[in-house]
Structures are given as C-alpha cells and as structure tokens.
A and B are shown apart, each in its own frame.
Chain A
C-alpha cells in the first residue's frame, strides 16, 4: 500500500480549476518532486494534501485511509503531515527553539524541559545548535528555513511537504537547505517537493511529476523524464527550464 495516494483530486477557486483530476502515488520513504511552470498548481496541490485547502472532488489516502472526507477534523492529520513553506513562516516573536517547541507542547502536552533533549538533538543534527536562542530576524534565510524544517520535524510527521523551500534564498544558501533534504531522504522520510531545482530533482528524486494547468502531464523516474520526456509540453518546459 502506498504511503500517500491521490485519486482524481480536483480543486477549484471559483471558476478557476487549479487541480484537475490529479492522480499520484507515493511509496513509503520515496521523494517525489513536482515540477511545472508558475501557476501550474504545485503549491495548491501541496496545500490540499495538508488539508489547508478543501478539495472539491477525488480522494487523498494516507496509509489507505481517506483524509480528505468532508467534515473530517483536519488537525490530527496535519500532525502526521509536515509542511515547509517558501517564505519560511517562522513565528517572528519566538526564538528558534520556541518556534520548534510550540506545537509539541500544545498537542502532545509535554513540558519544555521534557522536550528539550529531543529538540536539542534535532537542532544539532541540522547544524543549528548555536542558533536555538536566536529570533528569526537574527538568522540568515538558510538558517531560518532549516529551523522551519526542524519545527515541522518536531511533530514527528510521517510525510513532509516542501513548497519551493529554496526559492526565497540567496544562491549561496540553497546548498545548505538541499543538504538537509538529502539527510532527510537518507533517514527514510516520505517527501513531496514542489521545486524549481531541476538538478536536485534529477539527483535525489525517486519520481518526478510534471504538472501543467492542474494536470499531471507526465511522471516517471528522473532519468527518464529529464533525458527522454515523452510529452511535447514536458519537452517544451524542460527545454526552457534546463537552458
């Protein structure tokens, strides 16, 4: 059974169909990259998986259970699915470590001191131990984004969603964040990424999906998709993106 499966997912904003019957399966421990032009619906699809947006039709299965049923309480599901955003979205009035501890404190009813060892270990693992007491505006973009990843990981999610998490970073900071993703993949995390980092997708992804106008036009192993795209739209997109 796949870890995550989408069947015919449809999302509309008014008349605008943003996800138009999307099918996608993600096995446990896989990294799947969504690529496509701006406006293709990558962010929206990730937000739907995390139940930040209700879907019109179709189903989203996590461990075979439909999490998109209208009326289902989204909160328990969101704990199992972590999400990291392009603009970090750290809470600016809290230090890095407070950012990370807030959700586990509230949802798992654990005290700060009970959480400290595991949280410290997370910071350590991602090279952020010295930054735990810093406020977001005292951190570089790359550090902020890594703290945001740690914050999501502290909830011990089973799946992680990443929405163009390197797009807002200076080029020299992209590498440190991509290293974190490699680390996560090696630890067996199931991940879905929307990304413009084609080189990274090719190197690290297990599967790449090309989206256009809310549809999966083509999907496959990265070598196949990048080296021998079948669909003319994919060919045209890659010709532009890889130039």
Chain B
C-alpha cells in the first residue's frame, strides 16, 4: 500500500485511500478528546481524592498483588476441575433430551426439568443452597468440604446452559444429514456420534468458550461459602488495610485472563461466520 499514482493505482483506490486517511484522522482526534476529558474531568469530581486513595493506592496494590495472584491459583484449579465435568454432563443432558427411545422418556423429562430449574435460579443462590445445605446434613470429613459442594453447584448450573448450547448445535445440523446417514443403514447412535455431533460441536465451540469465561468469573462466588480464592483474599486485605485497592487488583487479574479469552472466542465466531457465507 505504499506505492502512489506512478505505481499504477486506480482512481477508485486513490479515492478509497483518501477516505481511509480521513476516517483515521477523525477517529484519532475524537479518541484523544474523550480521553483528555476523562483525565481532566474525573479528577475534578469532589470525591476524587478519596476514591483515588482508597481504590487506586499504588503501594497497597504492589503489596497485595502477589498474594492475590497466589489466591487466583485456587480459582483456576476450581475452574479446571469444573470445566470438564460441565462439558461431559452438558453433553449427556443434551443427548438425553434428543433421544427418541421410549424407554428413555423419563430421562427426557428429567433433562428438560433440570435445564429449566438450573437456568432459572441465580447462580449465587444455587451455590448457597448446595454449598451450605448439603454439608449441613452432617456428613463426615472430606464430604463436608465446601469445595466439593460449591463446585457441584457450579457444575450443575453451568451444565444446564452448556446442554442447551449443545442442543441448539445438534438442531442446527440439517435433517438431510440424518437422512443421509440413515439411508446408509447407520444406526441412530452411530449417526449421532459420527455425523451429527462432530458438526454440532464445531458450531458451538465459540458459544461454549463464552460459557467457560463466565464460569471462570463465577468461581468467585464460592468465596461466599468458604474457599479463600482471589475475591475472598481481596476482601481479607480490604479489612486489614482499610483499602479497596485489592479489589481493583483482583479485577485486573480477572481481566488478564478473560479479555484474551473473549477476544479469541469473538475471533472464532467471526471466522465461522466468514466460512458459512
């Protein structure tokens, strides 16, 4: 794009180049104006100094950040054991809801009821009910752990959403694919396993990535029932130092994970849209 008229640009290319340069100038100057306004106006707000001291205290940030990072490892661990369980359970529920075998009819009803219930209750409520409720039964030692029951709450909730996404993927595969598989003599099970599911899963990967990102954030809800993960750790620091900066530190750590992941999911979606058109 560095060659000029002499290098043989068409009239249209020259015109489009001019438009592009203009758009760039407009975007740059308006962005500069917005940021300038934020930098100038926000500090003029009456409470700014107080907010700055209690939310953006550099010393507190530096002191607490490594410990927060350490606590975040627990979030990641919880995420890592929940995510596979969610995927498997979600897929099983989706398959159960798709089955036409009359012997499995109860499974279909249960699958439908399950997704309705767990998608209808706020996650935090499920975490409370299962995380406090089940250990309240007075179970013996490893079994009263909030890790187990808190994780289960997340697994049950997210599996309900993930199942619906798998189901939409299965339904998005055109029925002529099933007909083609059946015409070859393949059983319903083989047709699902080798023909429908591989296509369905490919289509819903971006949507499932978004679910995983949401899950990574919701792991913080377990702090309400005990585990000292990053959000809880930030709370501890807040009380110790009477300063909110640790929460900002926690947010920064979450963003460092979720922004790249979100971008990647968006990229996958855009790529699929391009392929489909």
Q: How large is the interface on A (under 10, 10 to 19, 20 to 34, 35 or more residues)?
A: 20 to 34
- What chain A residues lie within 8 Å of B186 (beta carbons)? 75, 102-103, 106-107
The stretch from B67-75, B127-135, B193-201, B214-222 touching chain A is: B193-201
Contact with B along A121-134 (1 / 0, CB 8 A): 00000000000000
On whether the beta carbons of B180 and A85 are closer than 8 Å, the reply is yes
With A93-B199, A106-B190, A106-B194: A85-B185 Cβ-Cβ less than 8 Å: no
Among A11-19, A76-84, A170-178, A230-238, the one that faces the other chain is A76-84
| Complex Cα–Cα for A91 and B181 (A) | 9
- Asked whether A89 and B185 contact (CB < 8 A) given A106-B190, A106-B194, the answer is no
A165 within 8 Å of B by Cβ? Answer: no
Interface contact A155-B185, CB-CB below 8 Å: yes
Q: Does A50 contact B (CB under 8 A)?
A: yes
Tell me the minimal C-beta distance from A11 to chain B in angstroms. Answer: 16
| From A74, A85, A91, contact of B179 by CB (8 A) | A85
Q: Which residues of A contact B13 (CB under 8 A)?
A: none
Asked, given contacts A92-B199, A93-B199, A93-B202, whether A103 binds B184 with beta carbons under 8 Å apart, the answer is: yes
CB-CB under 8 A from A78, the residues of chain B are 182-185
In whole angstroms, what is the CA distance A151 to B195 when docked? 14
Given A85-B176, A89-B176, A102-B194, the answer on whether A152 and B202 have CB atoms closer than 8 Å is no
Whether the pair B199, A107 counts as a contact (CB closer than 8 A) is no
Known interface pairs A102-B194, A106-B190, A106-B194; A91-B184 also in contact (CB < 8 Å)? no
Instruction: Give bound CA distance, A74 to B184, whole Å.
Output: 11
A107 CA / B182 CA spacing, docked (Å): 12
Q: Are B185 and A76 in contact (CB under 8 A)?
A: yes
Known pairs A91-B195, A93-B198, A106-B194; A52 contacts B176 (CB<8 A): no
Question: B183 touching A50 by the CB < 8 A rule?
Answer: yes
Query: How far is B177's CA from A87's CA once the two chains are assembled, in angstroms?
Result: 10
**Binary contact readout A52-82 vs B (1 if CB under 8 angstroms, 0 otherwise):** 1000000000000000000000111011001
Q: Which residues of B are found within 8 Å of A148, using beta-carbon distances?
A: 180
Shortest A106–chain B CB gap in Å is 5
A21–B26 alpha-carbon span in the complex (Å): 73
User: In the complex, what's the smallest C-beta–C-beta distance from B9 to chain A, in angstroms?
Assistant: 35
Known pairs A89-B177, A102-B194; A151 contacts B184 (CB<8 A): yes
Contact A152 B185 (CB under 8 A): no
Assembly CA distance A76 to B198 (angstroms): 25
Q: Is B272 an interface residue (CB 8 A)?
A: no
**Residues of chain A with a CB closer than 8 A to B199's CB:** 91-93
What are 20 A-B interface contacts by the 8 Å CB criterion?
A47-B179, A50-B183, A52-B182, A75-B185, A76-B185, A78-B183, A79-B184, A82-B184, A85-B179, A85-B180, A87-B176, A89-B176, A90-B180, A91-B180, A93-B199, A102-B195, A103-B184, A103-B185, A106-B190, A155-B184
Tell me the A residues contacting B by CB distance below 8 Å: 47, 50, 52, 74-76, 78-79, 82-83, 85, 87, 89-93, 102-103, 106-107, 148, 151-152, 155
Known: A87-B176, A107-B185. 9 other contacts (CB 8 A): A52-B179, A78-B182, A85-B183, A91-B180, A93-B202, A103-B185, A106-B186, A152-B184, A155-B184
